[in-house]
Chains A and B, each alone.
Chain A
Amino acid sequence: MAEAPTVEALLERLLERDRSAVAPALNLVDDRRTEPARAANELLDRLEAALYESDPGRRRVGLTGAPGAGKSTLLDALVRRLRSQGETVGVVAVDPSSRRTGGALLGDRVRVRSSARDDGVFFRSMAARDRLGGLAEGTRAAATVLEAVFDVVLVETVGVGQSEGDVQPLVDTLTYVAQPGAGDLLQFMKAGILELPDVFVVNKADQGAAAQRTLRELEAGLGLGASHEDGWRAPVVAVSARDGTGIDALLEALAAHHAHQAESGRRAERRRQGRDAFVRGALQHRYGSHGMAALGGEPALLARLEGDANATGFGLVQELGREIEEALAKPRPRRP
């Protein structure tokens, strides 16, 4: 295997938006061995810090929905349209891992046919592996690397309720893809996370009456709930990824959400919340409630997150992690 590039070199190339640095950077941030993991964390910390200052035009969009909702076809149509508008696109697609064997089949999806010769598209598939925290951490790292180089980052996951909660903190706009037929919608409403997505898509609009019914149900369902805290009302867009209808309307809805966030100052705030959720999740995952207690519990964590408003998520996980490890290593002071 070729010599691994240094963190310094990778960082420089990524910030120059050098496409050829993306794959080695993604390989590095996926590496669990001690030394590469340390290097990866340094890279991600510095990259995220640089991105705080970066062009607010760049954005991360999550695409989630039940299996069979047609997310991949929709993704394909979205990438084509974005490319035709001159925007570069990085895609990270997460597929489930087999619980029993740890193996995974990735990329059983429609791929963007033009991508082989188009440097403006990058596709990386990932296995969810052990889902607790794993999905959020790996996906966040990949999205951070891709965001350095591409205008739009699309994160595709199979949503069966919980993963929306995992993906939401790491994207600026969460899109939920429903298909005609109310079954999955009902599940979704039961799960009580109807308020998470920023944009709803009813795919397969070419199926006529069934799609119209789902559209109406969704609109009615959303009408019952309150709009998002920042005054955004999630629109419902009917598309047919197959024949391309509604793709423009969807892009407009995504752009409208982006503009709304920029105006309301909500984008920065949401990224902060996303960072906090990530830090909390990662620490929980690594050290459990015992570790959190050693840090001083939730109030202490909140204070630290408040205080370090400009620190990156990756940096905080590293720093607080070290503190937890030290605290756990210390003998407990005996009370008199």
Chain B
Amino acid sequence: MVDKAGTDRDRPWVFRTYSGHSSAEASNALYRTNLAKGQTGLSVAFDLPTQTGYDADHPLARGEVGKVGVPVAHLDDMEALFREIPLDRMNTSMTINATAAWLLALYVAAAERQGVAPEALRGTTQNDIVKEYLSRGTYVFPPEPSIRLISDMVAYTVHAIPSWNPINICSYHLQEAGATPVQEIAYAMANAIGVLDAVRDRGDVPDDVIPQVFARISFFLNAGIRFVEEICKARAMAELWDELGRDRYGVTDAKLRRFRYGVQVNSLGLTEAQPENNVIRIVLEALGVTFSKKARCRALQLPAWNEALGLPRPWDQQWSLRIQQILAYETDLLEYEDLFDGSHVVEARTEELRKEAKEELDRVLAMGGAVAAVENAYMKQRLVESHTRRVRAIESQEQTVVGVNAFTEAEPSPLVEGEQSILVVDDSAEREQVERLRAFRSRRNQADVDTALRGLRDALSNGDNVMPPSIRAAHAGVTTGEWSDTLRDLYGEYRAPTGVSAQGAAAGDDGMQDVRERVGALADRLGRPLKILVGKPGLDGHSNGAEQIAVRARDVGMEVVYEGIRLTPEEIARSARDEGVHVIGLSILSGSHGVLVLDVLEALRSDGTDVPVVVGGIIPDDDAERLLEAGVKRVYTPKDFDLGRIMDEVVDVVEETAGLG
């Protein structure tokens, strides 16, 4: 590309912002504003009910509608989401997994309503179920049928929507779950192999199309603050991918073996303390994935500086978009060939990562591949271990986090003063979505819906491709909940291993001896060891925090009941009583703490269970205040990084409640 000044420049990557909230209409307005500001692609965030296959009026959807993304229940919602956005000219990434086939069907149907043929569509469905089991938690179905759905989508899109990326293998969430660079590379590759092998072995596509299928697999990476290593990581992945294509899948055309990836830079490392520093972190992380031309991302989305505080406002997202634009248009980054070719430092580190990742990949393949290593909890346990090491390194100040465990002396930030420093989703969003849904259901033709759902069920039972009957169902007026229920009936629901049980406590002096002694002494006074229930109510599947709490509680001598994700408030209350726990720790990151925590308290009260509750999550100060008033004993937010101190306070809470304080 030659710019206005006549300089030879590479074409920039696609600029995106992961966004969506409240309703299709509100999100549409946001998308159009963002595009007007120079964003070049869309990244749709769906709310948790949509991601896990529930309509807004389902009991499990309570408190979650429109919170972390946009609710899309039917074709009218999808149409409203892209109103006045011509889909033949848009590159749309959808963060959708268990229900990916359905959302793609709605997208295709919405395009058809716009008069756009499927062949003209460009974009990505995330559709990576393995990392959902490992980290993100919005899975629904067991591994086998889930892989079948993915394989169906690959087989369908390779012909019908040739520019679509049917699956975006995500190492992003693995890093959030604790993965080291080696683990991130190895598990992403194992995952991709699992999908490709399934497509090949199921015979869904003819053998001679496998190279095209290989070329449609894209990746979604995380970029952390160790940005030099991140450059090497991306380069190592490109090399490994090329090798796999050539050796395992016989892809002879080098172009088809190119490693294509998008990036969301690290949200986990963003701090609640001195949040303005996050802008600098984001810039450096963006550099890590754009610096090296050979391993430059195809699309980039940057988080907002204040994500650890709550939902970002449009201005916050704009600031992140400007980072991309300055990097691409102002700097001379895009004028050069690869800056690191010939750097023996980068090449050595790349080779080291590639080699170690290959070894770990071979271990996973030897135990039967990614799905087997999910079911036997191998990968999950490795991730929980790495994450535990990382948390401890920050606690012990071995790893510096500016403003958190070092240089904490600071002026008050003018950026977080005032009432509206984060976006608050209007509580009416849920009610309005339910109203729209009911109106939609009453005006559609029920006979068409019934026929379409029968057609879907029959097709799946016969082993036919899921896409054509799903697109017909979209046109007929089927809802997200109905489509998902049909599949739930056929396939059942899955719960993935939590990965927290097998590993032992770290040896040596871990600085927890004092808490451990307190826990031991309290056990004598309580008559039995302190028993804690760690629970995640609602649909939010980000279990990394809850897992770390569970592991630490065990390590200080508590008996920990941890039952994984997606529990209803009633299940938590019942479990607390039946298990005879002394305290409940709830973790909620989806912003639905207001409703869910109060529901847990209410369920406990109506059961007559007198057990204290502590809560952790992304919880703004005002909300924390409200929760404490409602009877919650302690509230923890991302700035409370010291798990040892949290454990100490949990002991306080139990002592106070038992009248032993």
Contact = CB atoms under 8 A, between A and B. Distances in A.
B589 interface: no
Contact of A68 (B376, B558, B574): B376
Interface centre among A23, A98, A101 (most CB of B within 10 A): A101
A103 B659 contact: no
A37 B527 CA distance: 9
Interface centre among A27, A115, A122 (most CB of B within 10 A): A27
A30 B527 contact: yes
B554 A98 contact: yes
Contact of B659 (A1, A32, A33): A1
A69 to B, nearest CB: 11
Interface of A: 1-2, 22-23, 26-27, 30-33, 36-37, 67-68, 95, 97-98, 100-108, 110-111, 113, 115-117, 122-125, 127, 129, 242
A103 B553 contact: yes
Contact of A103 (B558, B564, B574): B558
Interface stretch (B315-323, B471-479, B577-585): B577-585
Interface string B545-571: 000001101111111111110001011
Contact of A2 (B505, B524, B610): B610
A31 B580 CA distance: 11
B192 to A, nearest CB: 24
B419 to A, nearest CB: 39
Interface centre among B142, B497, B555, B560 (most CB of A within 10 A): B560
Given A98-B555, A123-B575, 19 more contacts: A1-B657, A23-B579, A26-B580, A27-B528, A30-B527, A30-B580, A31-B528, A37-B527, A101-B505, A101-B516, A106-B562, A108-B498, A113-B495, A124-B579, A124-B580, A125-B579, A127-B529, A127-B559, A129-B529
A129 B523 CA distance: 12
Nearest to A102: B557
Contact of B571 (A102, A116, A125): A116
Contacts of B108: none
A122 B659 contact: no
Nearest to A97: B559
Given A30-B528, A124-B579, A106 B574 contact: no
Nearest to B576: A23
16 contacts: A1-B657, A1-B658, A2-B610, A23-B577, A32-B527, A32-B528, A100-B505, A100-B507, A101-B555, A103-B519, A103-B553, A103-B559, A106-B559, A107-B563, A108-B564, A242-B142
Interface string B498-531: 1011101101000000001001100110011100
A310 to B, nearest CB: 31
Contacts of A36: 527
Contacts of A2: 608, 610
B561 A106 contact: yes
B547 to A, nearest CB: 10
Contact of B550 (A31, A105, A117, A125): A105
Contacts of B571: 115-116
- State the majority secondary structure of interface residues on B: loop
B560 A123 contact: no
Contacts of A105: 500-501, 550-551, 554, 560, 562
Contacts of B502: 67
Nearest to A95: B501
B574 A116 contact: yes
A110 B495 contact: yes
Nearest to A34: B527
Interface string B266-300: 00000000000000000000000000000000000
Contacts of B520: 102
Interface of B: 142, 376, 493, 495, 497-498, 500-502, 504-505, 507, 516, 519-520, 523-524, 527-529, 550-551, 553-564, 568, 570-571, 574-575, 577-580, 608, 610, 657-659
A33 B527 contact: yes
Given A30-B528, A100-B504, A102-B520, A117 B555 contact: no
A33 B493 CA distance: 43
A292 B307 CA distance: 66
A101 B500 CA distance: 16
> 5 tightest A-B contacts by CB?
A31-B527, A116-B571, A103-B554, A108-B501, A33-B527
B376 A108 contact: no
B594 to A, nearest CB: 22
Contact of A125 (B561, B574, B657): B561
A216 to B, nearest CB: 23
A107 B520 CA distance: 22
A102 B529 contact: yes
A124 B610 contact: no
A97 B559 CA distance: 8
A108 B504 contact: no
Given A103-B556, A113-B493, A123 B657 contact: no
Contacts of B658: 1
A67 B377 CA distance: 12
A67 B520 CA distance: 28
Contacts of B577: 23
B580 A108 contact: no
A197 to B, nearest CB: 24
A127 B571 CA distance: 21
A108 B500 contact: yes
Contacts of A110: 495
A128 to B, nearest CB: 10
Nearest to A28: B527
B528 A108 contact: no
Contact of B560 (A1, A23, A33, A103): A103
A257 B500 CA distance: 36
A83 to B, nearest CB: 15
A103 B528 contact: no
A32 B570 CA distance: 30
Contacts of B563: 107, 111
Contacts of A124: 578-580
A5 B504 CA distance: 38
B550 to A, nearest CB: 6
Contacts of B564: 108
A116 B568 contact: yes
Given A113-B493, A116-B570, A124-B580, A103 B610 contact: no
A106 B568 CA distance: 19
A27 B582 CA distance: 10
A115 B524 CA distance: 32
A98 B578 contact: no
A65 to B, nearest CB: 15
A103 B561 contact: no
A101 B557 CA distance: 5
B520 to A, nearest CB: 7
Contact of B497 (A27, A108, A122): A108
